[in-house]
Amino acid sequence: MSSVAFNDHAKVSKPVFLGIIWTFTALSIIFLAFRIKMKLSVSHRLFIDDGFALLAGIIMLAYAIIWQIKGQVLYELYAVGSGKAEMTVEFIAQYNIFMRYIAPSTILFYSCLWAIKFSFLAFFLQLGSKAKSHRIWWYIVLAVTLGVYIACVADVDYRCSLSGLEYIMEQCGTQSRIHFSNRTFWANCAGDIVTDILILSVPYVILRKTQIPFRKKMILLSIFSATIVVMVVALVRVVINSSLNKNRDISWLYFWSGVEMGVAIMISCTASFRQLFINSKNQHMFNEKAQNSYASPLISWNNKSKTKVSYESTGTVNTDYEEGCEKLRPMEMVHVRSELSQSTEYM
């Protein structure tokens, strides 16, 4: 996808470029740490969506490390392109190595974004809706999202990154190659936004007929709608590189790529807490009572036993066990009744 020419100047300086990338990387790690802490303290386990989010965080860290190491070569490239520095043999060798990181960096970018998309999809699946229409729509969105990811990775211009300096200098600056690179860049952005909209439609479809308080429904919808911020960043990333006939500025492109990855990770962490999906009446969000036979992972962690305890006047405790029906109940559903009976006999 990426072709390169010698640009006259960078739109963002090296300190700002690396500073912003590392800032969003650090914020992403903080949000992920908070997410894990909350999940372990409440659910005592991590879920599939948490695994995808952690994968995105690792990819973001690898992306930041690559640019920390190779960023100097990028800015030497700008100096050579503007005539402020000479093209030495040493620089050519470094530039050849640098270009081999362009395709991997692009793949890391798409892999990070799609890890977050799959995290959201896994989270929505774990909500436990048994409605057939919900499940069918979820699988459709999953198939489209996976297909777009494959397309984005497939249309990366690997030859202009990995084929060697001679090929890059001769072929990757031609107008036909630049047009191809820019068109695929715009197409990938469109695919990114369309899949975000499709994923965002999943909770809307679910919540549309859900019997939960209107206020909570609006809170949930507003949380998931925060993914619109990611779409805005994706659009900005394209608008700033909107010319069909010119190469994109590498610093500005990968600068906004880092911002988009960081924003996506932080929003996924904000929207991941399952406690919002249990209303105050212990009713599952799909209008299923907690005491039915369907054990949702959102409202139950033990479905193997039921314990009944009764106290008799003798002071003994009778305990009966019933298999396979107990669910976790919120405290407001627990009622304690104390009875005291006293009899007096007169001799």
Cα first-last separation, the chain? 101
- How many beta carbons lie within 10 A of that of residue 178, not counting itself? 19
Across the strands, what pairs with 15?
A: none
pLDDT score recorded for residue 221: 72
Query: What is residue 299's predicted lDDT score, i.e. its pLDDT?
Result: 32
Q: What is the pLDDT along the chain (347 residues), one digit of tens a residue?
A: 444 444 567 788 899 999 999 999 999 999 999 999 988 888 888 989 999 999 999 999 999 999 999 888 888 888 887 778 788 888 888 888 888 999 999 999 999 999 999 999 998 887 766 778 888 999 999 999 999 999 999 999 898 888 888 888 888 878 888 888 888 889 999 999 999 999 988 888 877 766 777 777 777 777 777 788 888 888 888 877 666 677 778 888 899 999 999 999 999 988 776 555 544 334 444 444 433 333 334 333 334 444 444 434 444 444 443 444 444 444 444 555 545 444 444 44
State the pLDDT at residue 26.
Answer: 97
Residue with tokens 């392109």: 81
Residue 69 is predicted with a pLDDT of 92
Query: Distance between CA 190 and CA 201 in Å, rounded?
Result: 17
Q: The dihedral of CA 239, 243, 244, 249: what is its sign?
A: negative
pLDDT value for 279: 40
Question: Whole-angstrom Cα distance, residue 255 to residue 262?
Answer: 11
Q: Which pLDDT score, from 0 to 100, does residue 306 have? A: 41
Q: Where are the domains of the chain?
A: 14-276
| DSSP secondary structure of 202-239 | HHHHHHHT--S-HHHHHHHHHHHTTHHHHHHHHHHHHH
**What is the structure's pLDDT at 111?**
97
The answer to whether 207 and 218 have CB atoms below 8 angstroms apart is: no
The count of residues in the chain is 347
* Whether the Cβ atoms of residue 254 and residue 67 lie closer than 8 Å to each other: yes
pLDDT score recorded for residue 347: 41
pLDDT of residue 303: 40
The strand pairing partners of 311, in sequence order, are: 317
